[in-house]
Structure 1
Amino acid sequence: MTDWERIERSDEFRELVKRRRSFVVPATIFFLVYYMAFIIVAGYAPDFMGESVYQGLTVGYCYALTQFVMVFVLGIWYLRKSEKEFDPLADRVVEAAAAAESGDVRFVRKDESEVKA
């Protein structure tokens, strides 16, 4: 049976979570700011958003279309980063957990007396 708490305490797992979070949190913040800026500008500057860029294509439509491009770019960027960085770390977590289950005592469960102290 897999000891999930032991895996969660492992250095490999903590490194994976740290690196993944260092990408996902800023990317999420960027996405939300970009999206909310669109809503705010559309609400407070409708004249600006309604300006024609090219034959009926307005600033608002251009900004809205860049939302799709931004999501696509962020998704591709995450997939590439995942393939190069996160997946190898996840493989190391799995290998360490398998080694622990097979008898390698790299992960040592603390006694209850050590936990309370």
Structure 2
Amino acid sequence: MTSSSYRGPEHARTPDRGPVPVARAGRHARPPDARGDVYLQVQASPEFQEIRRRYRDFVFPMSALFLAWYLAYVLASTMARDLMAQRIVGEVNVALAFGLAQFASTFLFTWLYARNAGRKRDRAALDLRWDTQERFR
């Protein structure tokens, strides 16, 4: 379907990108920047900034920890081959145990993230969402 097949009044034309929806008039029509202004106000609000701060306070250190843990595995695998080859029990060596611990730590970090979000951000974000939605009514 080409852009020339759009003939309805609800589409405008741009030379390079084809049809562009045009805002319709009616009882639900708003000025084009009304929603944007509300979202900019919310973004500047202390409540939103607090949610973002709580998010950053958790995510950045945990990301750094996870990256360091992963790089330790990679470096140990390439530079400490004798250590990684040492057997722990039967055919299980340090490298295999370290690799399985990588999977376990991924689940642990995911659980910690969900727990942190539930305790420190979800309620505040939901309250902010409801306040924002009330501004549109």
> Do both proteins adopt the same fold according to a TM-score greater than 0.5, normalized to the shorter chain?
yes
Asked if 1:38 is matched to 2:73, the reply is yes
Is the 1:51–1:59 Cα contact (8 Å) retained in structure 2?
A: yes
* TM-score normalized by the length of structure 2: 0.69
The equivalent residue for 1:85 is 120
Question: Aligned residues: percent identity?
Answer: 25
The equivalent residue for 2:99 is 64
Larger radius of gyration: 2
Structure with greater strand share of residues: 2
Matches within 5 A, 1:1-117: 1-2=34-35, 3-101=38-136
Output one character per residue of 1:57-112: Cα deviation in whole Å (capped at 9) or x when no partner: 0000000000011110111111112112211110122133234445xxxxxxxxxx
Is the 1:13–1:93 Cα contact (8 Å) retained in structure 2?
A: yes
Aligned partners of 2:133 and 2:87: how far apart in 1? 61
Aligned partners of 1:77 and 1:58: how far apart in 2? 28
Aligned partners of 2:136 and 2:41: how far apart in 1? 11
Query: Unaligned 5+ residue runs, structure 2?
Result: 1-33
Aligned alpha-carbon RMSD (Å): 1.4
Structure with greater helix share of residues: 1
Deviation at 1:7, TM superposition (A): 1.1
Query: Unaligned 5+ residue runs, structure 1?
Result: 103-117
Instruction: Using CA pairs under 8 Å that are at least 6 residues apart, name the structure with larger relative contact order, 1 or 2.
Output: 1
Is the 1:49–1:60 Cα contact (8 Å) retained in structure 2?
A: yes
Query: Stretches of 4+ moved more than 6 A in 1?
Result: none
Q: How many pairs align?
A: 102
